[in-house]
């Protein structure tokens, strides 16, 4: 991280008093959030609590009705260094009206670094191969995306976000529908990047193998942040850790 621009000290994401309106309703109300560089933050909350709305506003897809979002110190409407951002949207189908291969879709993740009217560099091709390896889709690179299963398509979208080696990963339920083995591979890839200083903001209902990487969680309820702090304390675990420890009193013995 030697060739960092002077704003390297700026938080990766800075959300100040953010309100967002959709269809005439306030979906987010006065959200404040700071994510320092290198942090791994989980955004939690029930369906409809505004997680995707927050994520989509952070990457500039939705306008702020009030307040402001800054990425690496620059307000989003003026932000231009999109190659520093990797984004996985929530469950959109990866297919259009014309067939497209896994390789072609993953390559589109490199467009932020590509000049107009020029072909892809050799380094770009290598990056695509690496990203395909990470999600274990290298042998499907010539297959049409529309012919993949939902979880496989999700893995393609993850590869598309990872391929540009961004400094900030913004992930909206990236591993929904992805099997445990692939989630583990994905978590390992994220761990490598976090070790190199990558910042991660991710929404997930089931963190799975990512659990160990999270160093902070934020809980949304009806468009407000109701918890912001260390992980676990906040989470209502669906699965209760159950054990019959030998020294645990209070149960019958034969």
- Tell me which residues touch ligand ATP (CB under 6 A): 22-23, 25, 27, 45, 47-53, 90
Contact partner at residue 233 from other proteins, Mg ion, ligand ATP, none, CB < 5 to 8 Å by partner kind: none
Torsion of CA 209, 228, 225, 31, to 10 degrees: -110
Q: Which residues bind Mg ion (CB under 5 A)?
A: 51-52, 90
What minimum distance in Å lies between the beta carbon of 199 and ligand ATP? Answer: 20
Contact partner at residue 48 from other proteins, ligand ATP, Mg ion, none, CB < 5 to 8 Å by partner kind: ligand ATP
* Pick from 25, 32, 24, 41: nearest CA to 67: 32
Residue whose CB is less far from ligand ATP, 25 or 237? 25
Contact partner at residue 97 from ligand ATP, other proteins, Mg ion, none, CB < 5 to 8 Å by partner kind: other proteins
- Hey, what are 6's tokens? 């002077």
What minimum distance in Å lies between the beta carbon of 219 and ligand ATP? Answer: 11
What minimum distance in Å lies between the beta carbon of 57 and Mg ion? Answer: 12
Burial class (CB in 10 A: 0-12, 13-18, 19+), 168: buried
Residue whose CB is less far from other proteins, 86 or 217? 86
Q: Which residues bind other proteins (CB under 8 A)?
A: 56, 59-61, 80, 82-83, 85, 87, 89, 92, 94, 96-101, 103-105, 107-109, 111-112, 114, 116-117, 120, 142-144, 160, 242-246, 251-254
| Beta strands 25-35 and 13-22, pairing class | antiparallel
User: Is the Cβ–Cβ distance between 13 and 168 less than 8 Å?
Assistant: yes
* Pick from 234, 239, 240: nearest CA to 214: 234
All residues at 6 or more sequence positions from 239 whose CB lies less than 8 Å from its CB, including other chains? none
Nearest 5°: the CA angle 27, 203, 28 is 15
What minimum distance in Å lies between the beta carbon of 48 and ligand ATP? Answer: 4
């Amino acid at each position: 991280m030697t060739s960092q621009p002077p704003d390297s000290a700026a938080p990766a994401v800075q959300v100040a008093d953010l309100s967002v309106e959709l269809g005439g309703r306030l979906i987010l109300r006065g959200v404040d959030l700071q994510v320092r560089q290198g942090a791994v933050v989980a955004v939690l909350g029930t369906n409809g609590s505004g997680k995707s709305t927050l994520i989509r506003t952070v990457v500039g897809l939705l306008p702020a009705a009030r307040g402001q979002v800054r990425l690496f110190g620059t307000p989003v409407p003026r932000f231009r260094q999109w190659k520093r951002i990797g984004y996985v949207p929530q469950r959109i189908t990866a297919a259009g009206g014309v067939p497209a291969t896994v390789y072609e879709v993953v390559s589109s993740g490199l467009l932020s670094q590509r000049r107009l009217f020029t072909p892809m560099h050799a380094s770009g091709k290598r990056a695509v191969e690496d990203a395909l390896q990470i999600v274990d889709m290298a042998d499907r690179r010539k297959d049409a995306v529309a012919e993949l299963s939902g979880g496989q398509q999700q893995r393609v979208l993850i590869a598309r976000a990872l391929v540009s080696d961004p400094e900030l990963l913004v992930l909206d339920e990236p591993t929904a529908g992805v099997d445990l083995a692939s989630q583990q591979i994905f978590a390992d890839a994220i761990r490598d990047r976090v070790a190199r200083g990558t910042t991660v903001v991710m929404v997930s209902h089931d963190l799975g193998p990512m659990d160990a990487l999270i160093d902070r969680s934020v809980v949304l309820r009806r468009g407000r942040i109701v918890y912001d702090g260390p992980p676990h304390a906040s989470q209502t675990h669906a699965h209760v850790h159950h054990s019959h420890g030998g020294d645990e009193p209070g149960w019958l013995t034969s």
